Amino acid sequence: MSTFQHLHLEIPKCDKPRVVIIGGGFAGIQVAKSLRHEPYQIVLLDRHNYHTFQPLLYQVATAGLEPDSIAGALRQLFENHKDFYFRMARVTGIDLEDKKIKTLVGELGYDMLIIANGSKTNYFGDKKMYDRTFPMKQVPQALDLRSHMLQNFEQTVMSREPEEKDRLTNFVIVGGGPTGVEVAGALGELKKHVLPKDYPDINFDIMKLHLVDGGPRLLAGMSEKSSAKAMQYLQEFGVDVRMNTRLADYDGRDVTLTDGTVIPTKTVIWAAGVTGNIIDGLPKETVERGRILVDEFNQLIGYDDVYAIGDIAMMKTDEMPNGFPMVAPVAMQQAENLGKNLKRKLRGKSYVGFRYKDKGSMATIGRNRAVVDLPKFHFGGFFAWLVWMFVHLMSIVGFRNRLVVLSNWIWGYMTYDRGTRLIIRTFLRNNKYKPGDTL
Amino acid sequence: MSTFQHLHLEIPKCDKPRVVIIGGGFAGIQVAKSLRHEPYQIVLLDRHNYHTFQPLLYQVATAGLEPDSIAGALRQLFENHKDFYFRMARVTGIDLEDKKIKTLVGELGYDMLIIANGSKTNYFGDKKMYDRTFPMKQVPQALDLRSHMLQNFEQTVMSREPEEKDRLTNFVIVGGGPTGVEVAGALGELKKHVLPKDYPDINFDIMKLHLVDGGPRLLAGMSEKSSAKAMQYLQEFGVDVRMNTRLADYDGRDVTLTDGTVIPTKTVIWAAGVTGNIIDGLPKETVERGRILVDEFNQLIGYDDVYAIGDIAMMKTDEMPNGFPMVAPVAMQQAENLGKNLKRKLRGKSYVGFRYKDKGSMATIGRNRAVVDLPKFHFGGFFAWLVWMFVHLMSIVGFRNRLVVLSNWIWGYMTYDRGTRLIIRTFLRNNKYKPGDTL
C-alpha cells in the first residue's frame, strides 16, 4: 500500500448534505444524474475510472469491439456537474455508526450513503474455478479472454498432437444465462465466418463449443418459448448444449462434467452467475445470499440514511419473494425511484415505494438471430435481432460510444470481419513468454 | 517454456523456394506483398499477431486512439495470399550454415532469409532506465503509458503534498526526435484542452512538460527551419525544452539532469533512440552499431541468400556513410527494391542497387501545427498539419483502420475530446492494487 500513503480521500465541505455513491454502474450513474440539480453534494466512488456497458462486454471478448465502444470515462459523463466529485478508489469498509466509508486511500464521512457497487462473478467459493477460468464482468477480463483465445489459434497452427489441438480449440462455457448464450453465439460466428479466413491451415470442425448449465433450460429468466428458440439457434451453430450439467472438475487441461464427459480445453468461460459485492461493516442481519436487504424505498433496514440499489440490493416483495433479478433495468429503475424520493425528501414529502416496470428482456445468438420477451409477447429471429440492436445501441451511455458501436456493427455485418483481432495482453497465467523491449 | 513443448514450426514443403521473412513491420509486409504473385513460398514470422503503424503509436499512449486504429492483424492483411504462412513466433537465432532459423517453438529451414525485424528502444545499456522509464515502441507499452498517466491524475486529486502532486503531474520526455516531439505536443494538447475538463479540482499550471535531448537541436533529421519551428511550437505549449542535456540519474521518484536540475516525476518517457533487434548467430563482422551490414542490394555481406531490410539494415553509401535513417520510408523502399530484385532473379536478370528517394519528413505538434520538410521546400503551421494528417491517413494499412482513425480525428478536433481515457491496464510496477474479481 506504499503507493497510497500520500493520498487522502478529502472532499471540500459545503453546506449541502453529502451523498456518497459507491459504484459507477447503471444504478450509480443514474441516481447521480437524477440528483444533478438538487442541493446535494455528490461523491461518486469507483475502482475503475469508467462506466462499463456490460451487456456488450462479450463483444469485446470476442474481438468485435474495442473497450472505447462500451466504456465511458466517468469524469467525462459528469463534466460540468456542480458539486460533483469523482474519486477512483476501492471501498473496503462501511462504518454505519460513525457514518463514514473506508477506502485504500482513507475514510470519508457521508450524510447519505447509496450503495450501488453491483455484483461480481460468483464462483460459489470454488478457488480452482476462480484460478483457472475466465470471468466476464470487467473490461480487462474481456481483453484477457480475447488475447487468450487468439493465442490458442496461433498455437493450434503449430501443434501436431490432435489432443493438444482439441485442447486449444475447445471452448467450455459455464452458464446458460444471457452472457453464456451470447458468448456462445459470438464464438459460433467467429468459427463460421471469421476465423477460417484467418487460419486456412486449421480445419474448424475441430473447434467445439460446449455450453453447460446446471438448470433445466437456457435463459431461465425468460419465457419457455425464448429458451427453446435460443437452444435451437445454438444447436444450429453446432454448440453442444448440456442442461442439468455442471463442472465436476477442471485442472486447467481437462474439464470433467457431472455427466462424466471429459473435455480437453484450455478455455473455460465462467458465466455461471453473479453475487453481490458485499462490503465489510454491514450488520449480519442486513445481508442475505450476498445481497443487502432493503425495504421498498431501497433503504437499508434500520438505517435511515443508507440505501442500496441495483444488483447489490435484495428487495423482497410479494411478487418477488427472492428479490428482483440482477439486471440493468431493475438497477436503473431503482436508481430513478431513489432519485425521486431524495427530491421528495427535500420538499418534505413522503417516499414512494419501488414498482418494477418489466419492459421485457432479450438475448442475441449470432448474426440475424435473437429472442425478445415483451411482457405479453415473445418473438425471435431477424426482427428480434433488429430490436436487440436498436435497444442496446440506444442504451449505451454517450453519443460517441453509440457511433463507434454502430459503425463497428455495420462494418462487421457487411464484411464478416472483426476489427480487433489483436493479441495485446499476453496472458501470463500459463505463459512465461512476455513481449517487451529488452535492454 | 512448458507452454510451447507441444508446438512445432512446421511449414508444408512445396516445390517453390521458401522465403522466410522475420518481422511484420513496414519492410516485412511490403516485401511479402511484392512477392505475392511470384513462385515463392512465403513464411512471415512475428512475435505479435499484428502490424503496428508506429507513427501514430503516441496517439494511443495519449488517449487519442484505441489500438484497433493503428494495428492490423497480420493474417488479415495476407488473407487469400497463396503459399503464404504466418507464424506468431519470436526468432531467437539464425544458423547461416545450415540455413535455418531458431524460435521458441522450433527451427525452420529457409531457401532465402529476409531479416526485417526492425529496431527496439535503445537504453544504451542503462538497466535503470530500462526498469523505470516508459518506452514507446509497442502497442502494450503505449497502453501502459496511457493507464499510468491517467492514474497519476486520479491520484493527484487525492494528494495534498505539493511535491507529490508535482511528481504525479510532471512529465519528462527523453529525446527530441519525432516521437519525443509528438508526445510532448499531444501531452500539451491534453493539458490545455482535455484534462482540465475532467479534473476541475486540479490547477493544471502544476502539470509541467519537460523535453530533454543530448543534441543541439530538435528533430535532428529535419531542416534547421523545422527544428526552430518545432521548438517555437513546443514553447508555445509551455514545454520546457532543454537541448544538450541528458538524464544523469533517475531513481523512479526524481530525475536529475546533466545540468544539475532535479525534477520530481513518476513519468519518464524514453524516446531517446532505437537500436536494431540483433538476433543471435550472425557473424561478428556483419554487425555494426546494432545493425546488420548489407550491400546495395540489401544482401548480407558474404551470404548469397540472406537479406536485411529496414531499421535493422546498415547500408553504407557515399551519401550515407553511417547508413540510412531508421524510418519507415527507407524500410518500405528497401523492401520494394528487394522484391523487384527477387523477381529479376527468377527471370535471370541481375540485381538493381538501392536508391533512396527522399520524399521528405514531417512531425506534428498538437492541433493545427506541424512541420514538413520536402526535398526543396520547408514549411510549417496549419497547412503542414493538414499535409501531415493526409499523408499519415493514406499510409495506414487497411481501409478500416483509415476510417477509424479519420473518424476519431474529426471527433477529437470538433469536441476537444479524447475517446479513450480508460485505465484498462493497472500499472503494477509501483502499484500493488490490482482490480479483478475476488473469490
Cβ B135–A437 below 8 Å, yes or no?
A: yes
H or E element at residue A392: helix A382-395
**pLDDT at site B3:** 57
Residue with cell 448444449: A241
Taking alpha carbons only, the member of B122, B282, B173, B132 closest to residue A439 is: B122
- Do B149 and B238 share a domain, yes or no? yes
Distance of residue B360 Cα from the nearest chain A Cα, in angstroms: 29
A358 reaches B (C-beta below 8 A): no
Burial of B200 (0-12, 13-18, 19+ CB in 10 A): middle
- Within 8 A of B158 by CB-CB distance, chain A residues are 7-10, 87, 89, 105-106
A428 reaches B (C-beta below 8 A): no
Is A404 a domain residue? no
Q: Residue type at A367?
A: R
User: How far is the C-alpha of B325 from the C-alpha of B44, rounded, in Å?
Assistant: 24
Burial A83-122 (b: 16+ CB within 10 A, else e): bbbbbbbbbeebebeebbbbbbbbebebebbbbbbbbbbb
- Do A188 and A103 share a domain, yes or no? no
User: How far is the C-alpha of B428 from the C-alpha of B412, rounded, in Å?
Assistant: 30
Distance of residue A183 Cα from the nearest chain B Cα, in angstroms: 19
- Do A94 and A149 share a domain, yes or no? no
Q: Indicate the SS3 state at residue B156.
A: helix
Burial B390-405 (b: 16+ CB within 10 A, else e): eebeeebbbebbbbbb
**For all residues of chain B together, what is the average pLDDT?**
91
Is B261 a domain residue? yes
- Within 8 A of A66 by CB-CB distance, chain B residues are 66-68
**Chosen domain end from A246, A272, A298:** A272
User: How far is the C-alpha of B147 from the C-alpha of A179, rounded, in Å?
Assistant: 27
How much helix, strand and coil, in percent to the nearest 5, is found in chain B?
35, 25, 40
Is the pLDDT at A4 greater than 80? The verdict is no
Is the pLDDT at A286 greater than 90? The verdict is yes
Report the greatest alpha carbon distance in chain A.
Answer: 74
CA nearest to B435 within chain A: A47
**pLDDT at site A187:** 96
Distance of residue B376 Cα from the nearest chain A Cα, in angstroms: 37
Is B56 a domain residue? no
pLDDT band at A439 (very low <50, low <70, confident <90, very high): low
Mean pLDDT of A346-359: 95
Cβ A85–B201 below 8 Å, yes or no?
A: yes
Q: Residue type at B47?
A: R
B154 reaches A (C-beta below 8 A): yes
Please indicate whether residue B377 or residue A425 has the higher confidence score (pLDDT).
B377
8 A C-beta contact, residue B365 and residue B180: no
Residues 6+ apart with CB under 8 A from B429: none
Q: Residue type at B21?
A: I
Tell me the CATH number at B205: 3.50.50.100
**pLDDT at site B417:** 76
pLDDT band at A429 (very low <50, low <70, confident <90, very high): very low
- Do B261 and B201 share a domain, yes or no? yes
Cβ B161–A423 below 8 Å, yes or no?
A: no
**Which range marks the domain in which residue A179 is found?**
127-272
Is the pLDDT at A436 greater than 50? The verdict is no
Is B81 a domain residue? no
Cβ B137–A85 below 8 Å, yes or no?
A: no
- Within 8 A of B67 by CB-CB distance, chain A residues are 66, 420, 422, 424
- Do A186 and A231 share a domain, yes or no? yes
* Neighbouring C-beta atoms of residue B133, cutoff 10 Å: 24
Taking alpha carbons only, the member of B180, B201, B196, B234 closest to residue B417 is: B196
Chain A with chain B: Cβ pairs closer than 8 A: 200
Taking alpha carbons only, the member of A279, A309, A328, A339 closest to residue A114 is: A309
Taking alpha carbons only, the member of A176, A278, A191, A193 closest to residue A228 is: A176
Tell me the CATH number at B107: 3.50.50.60
Quick one: DSSP state of residue A278? P
User: How far is the C-alpha of B265 from the C-alpha of B270, rounded, in Å?
Assistant: 13
Cβ B164–A403 below 8 Å, yes or no?
A: no
User: How far is the C-alpha of B110 from the C-alpha of B100, rounded, in Å?
Assistant: 6
- Do B227 and B257 share a domain, yes or no? yes
Model pLDDT for residues A159-177, shown as the tens digit of each residue: 989 999 999 999 999 999 9
- Do A268 and A288 share a domain, yes or no? no
- Do A263 and A142 share a domain, yes or no? yes
**Chosen domain end from B245, B272, B299:** B272
B48 reaches A (C-beta below 8 A): yes
8 A C-beta contact, residue A368 and residue A385: yes
A140 reaches B (C-beta below 8 A): yes
- The closest CB to that of A150, out of B49, B85, B439, belongs to B49
Q: Indicate the SS3 state at residue B135.
A: coil
B399 reaches A (C-beta below 8 A): no
Q: Residue type at A19?
A: V
- Do B150 and B261 share a domain, yes or no? yes
| CA distances from residue A399 to A180, A314, A428, B153, B419 in whole angstroms, order as listed | 28, 33, 36, 25, 11
User: How far is the C-alpha of A236 from the C-alpha of A224, rounded, in Å?
Assistant: 18
Q: What are the residues facing B84 on neighbouring strands?
A: B42
Cβ B422–A50 below 8 Å, yes or no?
A: yes
- Do B217 and B259 share a domain, yes or no? yes
- Within 8 A of A161 by CB-CB distance, chain B residues are 6
- Do A263 and A279 share a domain, yes or no? no
Model pLDDT for residues A107-154, shown as the tens digit of each residue: 999 999 999 999 999 999 998 999 899 999 999 889 889 989 999 999
Model pLDDT for residues B8-65, shown as the tens digit of each residue: 998 999 999 999 999 999 999 999 999 999 999 999 999 999 999 999 999 999 988 8
Is the pLDDT at B401 greater than 90? The verdict is no
Is B439 a domain residue? no
C-alpha cell at A232: 435451437
DSSP state string for B185-244? HHHHHIIIIIHHHH-TTS-GGG--EEEE-SSSSSSTTS-HHHHHHHHHHHHHTT-EEETT
Is the pLDDT at A1 greater than 50? The verdict is no
Residue with cell 493545427: B368
Taking alpha carbons only, the member of B8, B37, B17, B25 closest to residue B113 is: B17
Mean pLDDT of B212-225: 96
Is B41 a domain residue? yes
The count of domains in chain B is: 2
- The closest CB to that of A6, out of B126, B159, B420, belongs to B159
**Chosen domain end from B315, B346, B377:** B346
B90 reaches A (C-beta below 8 A): yes
- Do A115 and A208 share a domain, yes or no? no
Is the pLDDT at A431 greater than 70? The verdict is no
